[in-house]
């Protein structure tokens, strides 16, 4: 049997979501964030579809080099910068823009020779992960601007709590960034997806949409559709068996769920080996014949089970949607106690990918 588990990636929806990002920041350039294999969607295919983006943001050199080798011409920003001096040779060769977040990186630039680079100085306004403090900015910016290896400097920061629109910490971060005297000499970047959609104050010279490009809300209390976003990935599988079980019979590993009455149980060919979360509870929905149907029992490596009592016409071979069109990934993430980002990134290589422009 050929396994029908697959993900359909709608590239037109991806392009639509970039348009929505531009609508929220009409005066900003957009750096599309496509790290982690395009949030699980296929980095090269995503970059090719987003040819209107002004730049791309990735986490590391390997991702950037893959884009260049695929012929992607836009500026590429290394969001984690570089760690070793020998990486500068690759940054030069592939014409990349590193983020500077630590004085040790400036030491390496000053000790090297090569073409002048555009760099992004990351300012820690409250995320407390990477970046220099606002107090360090004047001295570090002076060093960068006087370094022969630096051609242009842009300033950026990252919002820690923008996914919560009731949290004033975001406004405090924006205030700290905007109070920098050095903003007059460098382009700025503040907004991520949550900033674009929820904090108009974060719009600046550059915005960095990420999760919203894939049709997912960056907020903890909404879904993408509420922001005019369209899901890009639809994860699909197939009903491969329907069995009738007696009242009280356990379903799946550990017998954690038992049939409350004689009932049909469907088996779907997808599991945590495909990236579907093992820890979703019974009751988590899938979409079968345009109807939400609950999962019962534990998800196993290759299969999961469904309560078919409300689907008397279900048949072997029917398509099952795990998330995507008609069933937002945010709903599955909430049931799993995680976020949509993680589910999208964890789809495994044995799931077949199909790209469409519907």
Active site residue 355: no
Q: Helix, strand or coil for residue 330?
A: helix
The C-alpha angle with vertex 156 and arms to 191 and 230, in degrees rounded to 5, equals: 25
The answer to whether the CB of 328 falls within 8 A of the CB of 223 is yes
Query: Phi-psi region for residue 37, left (φ > 0), alpha (ψ -120 to 50) or beta?
Result: left
In three-state secondary structure terms, 332 is: helix
The catalytic residue among 122, 253, 341, 355 is: 253
The secondary element (H helix, E strand) that includes residue 13 is helix 11-24
| CA angle in degrees (0–180, nearest 5) for 290-292-297 | 135
Cβ proximity of 203 and 196 under 8 Å: yes
DSSP strand pairing (187-189 vs 6-10):
unpaired
Compute φ and ψ for 236, nearest 5 degrees: -125, 150
192 contacts 179 by C-beta, under 8 angstroms = no
Q: What count of other Cβ atoms lies within 10 Å of the Cβ of residue 350? A: 11
DSSP 37-95: HHHHT-HHHHHHHTTT-SEEEESSHHHHHHHHHTT--S-EEETT--SSTTHHHHHHHTT
Q: Which two tokens stand for residue 342?
A: 């993680």
Q: Residue 122 corresponds to which tokens in the numbers above? A: 């990351």
| 39 given a catalytic annotation | no
Tokens of 26: 């009409």
163 close to 218: Cβ distance less than 8 angstroms: yes
Catalytic (active-site) positions: 35, 253
């Amino acid at each position: 049997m050929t396994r029908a588990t697959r993900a359909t990636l709608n590239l037109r929806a991806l392009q639509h979501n970039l348009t929505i990002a531009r609508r929220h920041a009409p005066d900003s350039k957009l750096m599309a964030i496509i790290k982690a294999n395009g949030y699980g969607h296929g980095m090269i295919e995503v970059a090719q579809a987003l040819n209107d983006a002004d730049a791309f943001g990735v986490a590391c050199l390997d991702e950037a080099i893959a884009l260049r080798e695929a012929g992607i011409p836009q500026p590429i920003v290394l969001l984690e910068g570089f760690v070793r001096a020998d990486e500068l040779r690759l940054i030069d060769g592939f014409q990349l823009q590193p983020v500077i977040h630590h004085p040790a990186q400036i030491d390496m630039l000053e000790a090297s020779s090569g073409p002048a680079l555009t760099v992004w100085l990351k300012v820690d306004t409250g995320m407390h992960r990477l970046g220099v403090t606002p107090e360090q900015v004047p001295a570090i910016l002076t060093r960068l601007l006087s370094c022969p290896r630096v051609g242009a400097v842009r300033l950026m920061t990252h919002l820690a709590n923008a996914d919560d629109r009731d949290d004033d910490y975001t406004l405090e971060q924006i205030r700290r960034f905007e109070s920098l005297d050095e903003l007059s000499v460098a382009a700025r970047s503040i907004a991520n997806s949550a900033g674009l959609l929820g904090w108009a104050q974060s719009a600046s010279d550059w915005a960095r949409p990420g999760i919203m490009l894939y049709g997912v809300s960056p907020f903890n209390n909404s879904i993408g559709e509420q922001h005019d976003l369209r899901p890009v990935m639809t994860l699909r599988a197939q009903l491969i068996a329907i069995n009738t079980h007696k009242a009280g019979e356990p379903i799946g590993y550990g017998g954690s769920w038992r049939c409350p009455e004689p009932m049909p149980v469907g088996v779907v060919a997808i599991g945590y080996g495909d990236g579907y979360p093992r820890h979703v509870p019974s009751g988590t929905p899938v979409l079968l014949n345009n109807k939400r149907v609950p999962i019962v029992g534990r998800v196993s490596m290759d299969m999961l089970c469904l309560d078919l009592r409300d689907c008397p016409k279900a048949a072997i071979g029917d398509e099952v949607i795990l998330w995507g069109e008609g069933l937002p990934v945010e709903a599955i993430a909430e049931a799993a106690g995680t976020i949509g980002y993680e589910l999208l990134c964890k789809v495994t290589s044995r799931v077949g990918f199909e790209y469409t422009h519907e």
